[in-house]
Amino acid sequence: MPTSVFYRQFERHDHATGIKAHTTTYCPGCGHGVAQQFLAEAIDELGVQDRTVLVSPVGCSVFSYYYFDVGNTQAAHGRAPAVAIGHKTANPDSIVVCYQGDGDLASIGLAEIISAAQMGLPITIIFVNNAIYGMTGGQMAPTTLLGQNTTTSPGGRTTFAGEPLKVAEMIAGLDGPVFVERVALYDNRRRTHAKRAIKKALELQANGTGFAFIEVLSECPIHLNMTPEDAEGWVRDTMQQVFPLGVKKDATDRQYPEIPTPAFDAEATLAAMGTTTEQAERHATGFPAHLDPDDISLKLAGAGGDGAQTAAMLITKAAINEGFDSTDIPSYGPESRGGTSYADVHVAATEVLSPAAPHPHVLVAFNAPSLAKFGPTVRPGGVVIYDSSIVGEVPSSLADGVRVVGVPFAAVARDLGAVQVKNVVALGALQGATGLFPKETFLTVIRSALVGKRAVLELNEQAFARGAELASAVAAPAG
Amino acid sequence: MPFLVPEYCKGCGRCITSCTKGCITPGTEINPLTGLVPVVLDLTDCNACELCIDACPEPFGLRPEGEQAAFELRDPAELGGPRPYDAPVPEPLPDTTLALPGRAPLVVKGTYASALGAVLGGCRHVYGYPITPSTEGAELMAKLQPMLDGVFVQAVSEVATVNMMYGAGGAGKRCMTFTSSPGFSLMLEGISYLIGAEVPAVFVNIMRGGPGLGNIAPAQADIKLACRGLGHGNTHAIVLAPATPQEMLDLTMLSFDLAFRYRNPVVVLGDGYLGQMTGKVRLPDHMVVPGIPEWAVYGDHSHRGNLICSIELQEADLERHNLDLDAKYARMTATEQRADLHHCDDADVVVVACNTPAQLAKGAVKELREQGVKVGLFRPITLWPFPIDAFREVAERARHLVVVEASEGQLEDEMRLALSYAGVHAPPISHVRRQGGVLPSQAEVVQQVLALTHEREGVL
């Protein structure tokens, strides 16, 4: 049937000069023209022309956008399914169709097609398999048959290049697609069937059912070096022996979940971001200048899982609550648990400039290796706070005037019945040993970190108080 | 019953075998217009089954006889028949803004700040692939976007990611990704396509140590890629270099406006410290509600006539397209230069740095000024276009330029190129460089500046 889904004139085909205004770039007898006619008719019959976005591939059908009067996107080689996901998620109401050849889809674009199919987003893939690279001039495709001559399999494809890839079966083996069928174009019956299958695949998208994939066995008479009639015969007698026709998967009783449409609401956006109008109460009377006139650096170091990172973050939050500037840089090894883990924290009266802490004023060490490594980096007159229940010996190579405060973080936490609060004991010890901020400043950030976890709040408050108390007992804070 | 304009027949003969009545036979005459041999119809026995029309690969090949038959069949220009093109000229749906009520500052890491900037900049489509040290940005988006009915898709690779952005950006949506150096390398091909097809998209690249897998520590060794190497062809994009978590938010938010203003990708380059560093971040006073631009392939009636494509087959067309891109790059260069000048007015030595090294260079300037050394900091915020308009005067007045960076000289190359094109007679240039995930330190900057001033004073 004639369809208005093809442009009246192919303006994009060499500016519609001469007969190019009404003819395709396909060679005589090429199956692409037949498959594209069926696609155009399906778009027309389903009344989705306005909503359709056609993603053209790289290959002989690269210029599909010359012909189809729909929204058109031309993709990089093999990437059409990824581009389609972009379009579909941008406008869930659009009907997104990828029209791809065997080099594009089954070779360079394998990762994209498999992941898109498994994702199962309602898009439609028309995969044209003609067992050869056309546009580049007759090279071996992933679907080239064993024994088939191509310019890159002279003498015939051997198993050294692997067996031809049966894409429809592979896609059907995935969970995502709702419909997978292989069709052909070599006679009237197959063509009528192919037309129906393409329409069905499109309909499954229009209904929101899901991902549909149609593999079309097609003829490339030029590179098969055959007449169009012989090429049809070759697909019928030879190619379909390797690529049997038929429905490979039908799970059309499913329905893909609705894809949301973004909302733009100021309050909802701020709420999602976890913002608050409340300015935290301030407890400090001024910058802790007894540690440094305007920029205090701290290093918290331990093994992964010790809680050094959380403690560092809480210090930074506390500082900012007090109106100071602060930064915290985490650093850890490749392990999610265990390995080394340390954080560099700065608290500045106005602005943190160098966020690293190669020579910290204060070191909080959760274990012996951390103390051994970073203890000697603490600047003269600084403070080292360490877990005395874990570390046996304090290194002798500390700088002049470094005050050493041992508090049994882990033992205190264990006594309280929860070893994971040892970093809160450490924060208490930091407060007790340095007077960086008042106790209430720390407790405020601890409480806000435990919003919704009332059961453990008291435990954390006890851990903090105990740490502060023990550190104060070891050495009264300077200043 | 079919009819055929011989000029539109390529003579493949697929219709011949489709006809059960033997109405169609191979032609014998070469058509002078096409050089091909069209088939010949004899419709005496035709039963109008139209199977030949299904078999014909050409859209204007065999067609059913009907109203079109009234047309002069020998006039290809007229043959199209009455097929009204009913898609209207699309109108742009403009962006709007919503005022935001005041909020307490947030304490968040740089990648989070960048994600929040994107959300406030109207981005509801995020595509990404996890890579340290940028992953937290993607993680926050995976949490935030569904709360706002937005979309986060974890792609199969960075290659798929950039192509999803090509789709969503091509549909006119504000989209972005978080990545880090090796991932950015993988995206470059796609960025070339984005630039060629004029699709806006935002890339936040938290640079880490390279080459190869390198390490996950902070570096600035993708400046060359972002400024000079965005894939193949004639490519440029605005490259923004934040220096604080606050700027991670502000510049990411800005990048969407820039991307859509120029229909071009924008790259936000941070270093690993900036991505991971937690700091104080204030929210802006508004958020953006994006519209749909008139050029988008949105998948609706009014945008039906649009095309997103980077192909121009005719050399003249492609040259024209490149000249148009050049003109666009020139507009960016003229209007989008951004820089921060710190104590440059009377500076004998000007330190040039961006990202975290600019912050610690600022620390060095403070330290040196306290010692009475006349030193300033020139911080390019746009690395491309390099802010030469602001730098020219600074460079001409200074006695020394010191480039501080975590690469082998990529920022310095950008600066030297800009100076050279601008014909600025620059003073001697030296540098403080660290590599492999090591940032220069404040002490190293101080030392270098002191060495220069002592040298000048003849102390050495």
What values do phi and psi take at A355, rounded to 5? -75, -15
Q: Which is nearest to B265 in space by CA: B183, B195, B172?
A: B195
A114: nearest CA partner in chain B: B156
Domains A14-250 and A295-474 share a fold: no
Q: What's the confidence (pLDDT) of residue B72?
A: 45
Kindly state the DSSP code that residue A236 receives in the 8-state scheme. I
Contact yes or no for B163 and A79 at CB 8 A: yes
pLDDT tens for each residue of A123-149: 999 999 999 999 999 999 999 999 999
Q: What's the confidence (pLDDT) of residue A478?
A: 46
Tokens 């900037």 identify what position?
Answer: B117
pLDDT tens for each residue of A436-475: 999 999 999 999 999 888 889 999 999 999 999 999 988 6
Q: What's the confidence (pLDDT) of residue A335?
A: 63
Contact yes or no for A79 and B63 at CB 8 A: no
Binning pLDDT at 50, 70 and 90, where does residue A476 land? low
Q: What's the confidence (pLDDT) of residue A373?
A: 93
Binning pLDDT at 50, 70 and 90, where does residue A224 land? very high
CB contact at 8 A, A179 and A123: no
SS3 category, B67:
helix
Q: Distance between CA B377 and CA B401 in Å, rounded?
A: 10
Which residues in B lie closer than 8 A to residue A23 (C-beta atoms)? Answer: 7-8, 10, 58, 60
CA of A18 vs chain B CAs: smallest distance (Å)? 8
Q: What's the confidence (pLDDT) of residue B88?
A: 77
**Alpha-carbon Rg of chain A, whole angstroms?**
34
B172: nearest CA partner in chain A: A90
Q: Which is nearest to B173 in space by CA: A86, A349, A315, A375?
A: A86
B36: nearest CA partner in chain A: A28
Inter-chain CB pairs, A–B, below 8 Å: 348
Binning pLDDT at 50, 70 and 90, where does residue A276 land? confident
pLDDT mean for each 10 residues of chain B (460 residues): 90 95 95 94 93 94 69 49 65 94 93 98 98 95 97 98 98 98 98 98 97 95 98 98 97 98 98 94 97 97 96 95 98 98 97 97 97 97 98 97 98 98 96 96 97 74
Q: Tell me the CA distances in angstroms from B25 to B11, B22, B374, one per residue in order.
A: 10, 7, 92
Which residues in B lie closer than 8 A to residue A84 (C-beta atoms)? Answer: 167
Q: Which is nearest to B53 in space by CA: A188, A4, A462?
A: A188
Measured N-to-C along each axis, helices A110-119 and A80-90 cross at an angle, to the nearest 10 degrees, of 40
CB contact at 8 A, A322 and A282: yes
Check if CATH label 3.40.50.970 holds for domain A14-250.
yes
CB contact at 8 A, A364 and A308: yes
Q: Tell me the CA distances in angstroms from B234 to B86, B183, B192, B262, B324, one per residue in order.
A: 36, 21, 8, 15, 11
pLDDT tens for each residue of A84-101: 999 999 999 999 999 999
Furthest CA-CA distance within chain B: 109
CA of A65 vs chain B CAs: smallest distance (Å)? 8
C-alpha A224: how far from its chain's center? 42
User: A333 or B103: whose pLDDT is higher?
Assistant: B103
Name the strand (E) or helix (H) holding B116. helix B110-120
Binning pLDDT at 50, 70 and 90, where does residue A16 land? confident
Is any Cβ of chain B less than 8 angstroms from the Cβ of A118? no
Contact yes or no for A352 and B279 at CB 8 A: yes
Which residues in A lie closer than 8 A to residue B63 (C-beta atoms)? Answer: 2
**Percent of chain A residues topping a pLDDT of 70:** 97
Token pair, residue A343, equals: 């954080």
CB contact at 8 A, A316 and B107: yes
Q: What's the confidence (pLDDT) of residue B458?
A: 61
What values do phi and psi take at A432, rounded to 5? -65, -35
Q: What's the confidence (pLDDT) of residue B460?
A: 44
pLDDT at A477 over 60: no
Q: Distance between CA A207 and CA A46 in Å, rounded?
A: 11
Q: What's the confidence (pLDDT) of residue B73?
A: 45
Token pair, residue B428, equals: 């001697």
CB contact at 8 A, B325 and B195: yes
Q: For the sheet with B238-240, list strands across it.
A: B151-154, B125-128, B175-180, B202-207, B266-271, B238-240, B382-384
Among partner residues B148, B160, B304, which is closest to A112 by beta-carbon distance?
B160
Is any Cβ of chain B less than 8 angstroms from the Cβ of A32? yes
Is any Cβ of chain B less than 8 angstroms from the Cβ of A293? no
Query: What's the CATH architecture for A295-474?
Result: 3-Layer(aba) Sandwich (3.40)
Token pair, residue A471, equals: 């550190």
| Amino acid of residue B136 | E
SS3 category, A385:
strand
pLDDT at A323 over 80: yes
> Which residues 6+ apart lie within 8 Å of B317 measured at CB?
none
Residue ranges and CATH numbers for the domains of chain B are 2-79 (3.30.70.20), 96-335 (3.40.50.970), 341-456 (3.40.50.920)
Residue burial B32-68, b: 16+ Cβ < 10 Å; e: rest:
eebebbbbbbeeeebeeebbbbbbbbbbbbbbbeeeb
pLDDT at A215 over 90: yes
Token pair, residue B255, equals: 């990048």
Q: Distance between CA B431 and CA A42 in Å, rounded?
A: 65
pLDDT tens for each residue of A296-307: 999 999 998 899
Q: What's the confidence (pLDDT) of residue B148?
A: 97
A264: nearest CA partner in chain B: B289
SS3 category, A225:
coil
Q: Which is nearest to A167 in space by CA: A157, A156, A182?
A: A182
Which residues in B lie closer than 8 A to residue A56 (C-beta atoms)? Answer: 309
Q: Distance between CA A223 and CA A220 in Å, rounded?
A: 6
Is any Cβ of chain B less than 8 angstroms from the Cβ of A160? no
CA of A474 vs chain B CAs: smallest distance (Å)? 32
Which residues in A lie closer than 8 A to residue B54 (C-beta atoms)? Answer: 34, 37-38, 188, 191-192, 195
Domain regions of chain A by residue span: 14-250, 295-474
Is any Cβ of chain B less than 8 angstroms from the Cβ of A133? no
Q: Distance between CA B192 and CA A77 in Å, rounded?
A: 13
A56: nearest CA partner in chain B: B309
Q: What's the confidence (pLDDT) of residue A2?
A: 56
